[in-house]
Amino acid sequence: MNIASVKLVYFSPTGTTKAVVQGIARGINHSTVELIDITLPDARKEPLKASEDELLVVAVPVYMGRVPALVMEWLQALQAHHTPAVCVVVYGNRVYDDALLELTNTVMEHGCLPVAGAAYIGEHSFSNAETPTAQGRPDEDDLRHAEMFGRTIREKLQSASSASRLSGVQVPGEYPYRGDPTLWTVDFIAVSDACSHCGVCAAVCPVGAIDADDCTVIDQERCITCCACIRKCPENARTMKPGLVKDASKRLHTLYQERKDPEYFV
């Protein structure tokens, strides 16, 4: 079938999901590609629309084994009409549980025809120099895999005469979905004197939780503990305070060193 254009949508506070999506886009190698970054609040103000002759790729990080709640909320406004769709989850080398199934079911409920799915590994959001987990992922091998997956998607689409002839995809997971997607409400970020008041942290926060006039003030109810502000601070002035998140970082470092590999389903 002929695809007029490809829309690749991603939520990616620390950039690993974005890197995977870019790899998949290289593999799909279509002349008309639109990368839609929904990480920042303004980008989630508009609902997404997709038609039958477009391919939609939706990629999210796994939070607590699930699709991040704010992405689920945004996807409720998705308007698609028999749109072939590819769902991708990126997780921090622990587990992705039911996230891929949840994402796949959600886009299907809003008019998509899921034709492929994949799970990739990205450096864990809580990873740091002292307690690294999946450091440097996605690496070269992961990105080669992402390109191969992109080519596989293209071949599947080319082999069908129309969207209605495409076979659907089965992805792993259980329903009712396991686990609780509620995130911790926690005061976990320390800001040191190295802060130059540049405003980068407030600008990159996906939920606008940091006061633009005083970056030490964080709305803990809004914070999704994504660690984007810590990673992107140019002065390395933001670190984890002792407590829940730092303990989780240590635990992940101890328990999830064994390398997991990407998986795909077509």
Binding residues for ligand SF4, rule: CB under 6 A, are 13, 191, 195-201, 205-207, 209-210, 215, 218, 223-229, 233, 235, 237-238
The nearest distance, CB 265 to ligand FMN, in angstroms, is 18
DSSP-derived 3-state class of residue 62: coil
Distance (Å, whole) CA 131 – CA 246 = 9
Q: How far is the CB of 4 from ligand FMN (least distance, A)?
A: 28
Ranges of beta strands (E only) in 20-163 are 33-37, 49-50, 54-61, 79-80, 83-91, 112-121
Of residues 158 and 220, the one with the C-beta less far from ligand SF4: 220
Determine the Cα–Cα distance for residues 160 and 167; give it in Å rounded to an integer: 9
> Which of ligand SF4, ligand FMN, none interacts with 158 (beta carbon under 5 to 8 A by kind)?
none
Nearer to ligand SF4, 149 or 188 (CB): 188
In 3D space, the residue among 236, 1, 266 whose CA is nearest the CA of residue 151 turns out to be 266
Binds 122: which of ligand FMN, ligand SF4, none (CB < 5-8 Å by kind): ligand FMN
Which one of ligand SF4, ligand FMN, none is in contact with 20 (Cβ closer than 5 to 8 A by kind)?
none
**Minimum CB–partner distance for residue 139 and ligand FMN (Å):** 12
| Residue 159, C-beta contacts closer than 8 angstroms, at least 6 positions apart | none
**Given the rule CB under 6 A, which residues bind ligand FMN?**
12-17, 61-65, 90-95, 122-125, 183, 225-226
Report the residue number, 121 or 200, with the smaller CB distance to ligand SF4: 200
61 close to 21: Cβ distance less than 8 angstroms: no
Q: Which is nearer to ligand SF4, 46 or 219 (CB)?
A: 219
End-to-end CA distance of the chain: 16
Task: Let me know: does 61 contact 16? Beta carbons within 8 Å.
Answer: yes
Closest CA to 23 of 209, 265, 262: 262
Residue 43 CB, nearest approach to ligand SF4 (Å): 15
Taking the least distance from each CB to ligand SF4, the nearer of 61 and 84 is: 61
**Please, which residue, 23 or 84, has the CB nearer to ligand FMN?**
23
Measured CA to CA, the distance from residue 53 to residue 166 in angstroms comes to 13
